[in-house]
Structure 1
């Protein structure tokens, strides 16, 4: 089943990368010209830079916010505070919303039109409207914020499970030794969360590299190419330019980047001898 639904499409994409295949049909011939043309595309450098910024900021934001919410929920449950289940539910709602709907929601929030929610509040406060989606820098910030809002729930679940697995006697021992909350977090919680942080980094990075639906509905990759990431560039290549061969090259490039980052993260995972 894995070979049918994963391995075969990958091998077929590799095959198509060495062709001039198009969605419009025509004679398919094998050539290395497609790879050369795609890798030499004038916009590829900018798109890779956009992808790096979007991915790094999204992963860092989702990890930080997810950990903060997980800590809040776990500590609230230990103190039997009300509303913890409601808080988890609210966070999970953002996760189950489809990417296209997520982009539309944030487009309505960031819109510079009179109905834009955020700028509408700023007008009430007599503050000049902010060009959230028309300024290149702010458009990237807006895209990152929408992706963090959507993906934080996954990180929260991972960290919540990891925190629940930490032996509470370690915190009791730290408290008896006079450790402050910050010291306990730094010397007890973070070291024990290291495997979860690294595994979550791998999963969130791969998810973020494949995000295009939320961006296409929020900014469409604009203004210009300011928010056009590699996944969106691949989508445009195959469904706007009908270049199946070129899109296959880009998909293999995304696969290679994902594998390299996954191996890099995995190299920091604690091994059995480290645990011993």
Structure 2
């Protein structure tokens, strides 16, 4: 007698319920309380959401987060597409070093975020031990600012996050390019299409669904980034690089305010869902327009 699918799915569903669904429900529940720590009594109220949404600090962090997410996602998408294209072209031309380049790019993805933050901290330290500061001094540049001012600090945090996430974007788009039929490119070359024409009219349209999945995943990953920022800037100078995910960490584990931390976590989750729905709507609308034409 054949086993029912539910028998095989039960362990997976139990795992999801215990480690994903229950924590999610509990965070949503705590967001409607004024809980301080686990041992303290609390009441159900909307004060946590009210305190967060009316706080000027939250508005400032929301602006920083939007800039951080948009710039990081755009940078990862473009850099990943560029590297994937170069790798594909290198393989077509049988150039040596393609595997080496792929391995080097993957380093940023496999390293833990804390390690990446420490590496970039060593690179950008403005004292004599900083690598870039030492190079700048050797060329006669003094008082170079990397992390001690708001604008440069946010810029370098974005650059570090792009370096970290480009590998995943490259893998997604590289895999998508490998599925495109070579016959399409051969037919385009016969018709006289050059590299850029092939890239624009064959590669880009063929990567639409991969690009949508890529955008969703790297956007969610960037929204939840804080491990890299902690050793790199700690959210400073001031709160210039304190994104919402880092704010949640500080509220819960430094200020011990579970209610407010949970409220911000729910708001961040809603941002992620809204962003995902926006991507789906945009790409589906584009497909409908192309199908109608």
TM-score when normalising by structure 1: 0.96
- After superposing the two structures, state which structure 1 stretch, 33-42 or 256-265, moved more: 33-42
Displacement of 1:182:
1.4
Displacement of 1:24:
6.3
Show the counterpart of 1:172: 186
In the alignment, structure 1 residue 251 sits paired with structure 2 residue 265: yes
Show the counterpart of 1:228: 242
Show the counterpart of 1:201: 215
Show the counterpart of 1:60: 74
Show the counterpart of 2:100: 86
Alignment of structure 1 residues 82-121 onto 2, 5 Å: 82-121=96-135
Alignment of structure 1 residues 12-23 onto 2, 5 Å: 12-23=26-37
Find the aligned partners of 2:49 and 2:35 in 1 and give their Cα distance.
12
- SS at structure 2 position matched to 1:267: helix
- SS at structure 1 position matched to 2:30: helix
Displacement of 1:104:
0.5
Show the counterpart of 1:38: 52
Displacement of 1:275:
7.1
Displacement of 1:268:
3.0
Q: What is the RMSD of the two structures over their aligned residues, measured on CA atoms?
A: 1.6
Show the counterpart of 1:11: 25
Displacement of 1:265:
0.6
Q: Deviations over 1:164-189 (max 9, x none)?
A: 00011111111111122112111111
Check the 8 A contact 1:67/1:155 in 2, yes or no.
Answer: yes
Cα 1:264/1:88, change in 2 over 3 Å: same
Alignment of structure 1 residues 181-196 onto 2, 5 Å: 181-196=195-210
Displacement of 1:6:
1.6
Find the aligned partners of 1:234 and 1:132 in 2 and give their Cα distance.
25
Displacement of 1:193:
1.0
Alignment of structure 1 residues 252-271 onto 2, 5 Å: 252-270=266-284
Find the aligned partners of 1:199 and 1:18 in 2 and give their Cα distance.
32
Q: How many residues align?
A: 276
- SS at structure 2 position matched to 1:224: coil
Displacement of 1:88:
0.6
Find the aligned partners of 2:83 and 2:193 in 1 and give their Cα distance.
22
Match of 2:251 among 237, 244, 249: 237
Displacement of 1:217:
0.8
Find the aligned partners of 1:263 and 1:270 in 2 and give their Cα distance.
10
In the alignment, structure 1 residue 143 sits paired with structure 2 residue 160: no
Show the counterpart of 1:51: 65
Show the counterpart of 2:5: none
Find the aligned partners of 2:214 and 2:119 in 1 and give their Cα distance.
26
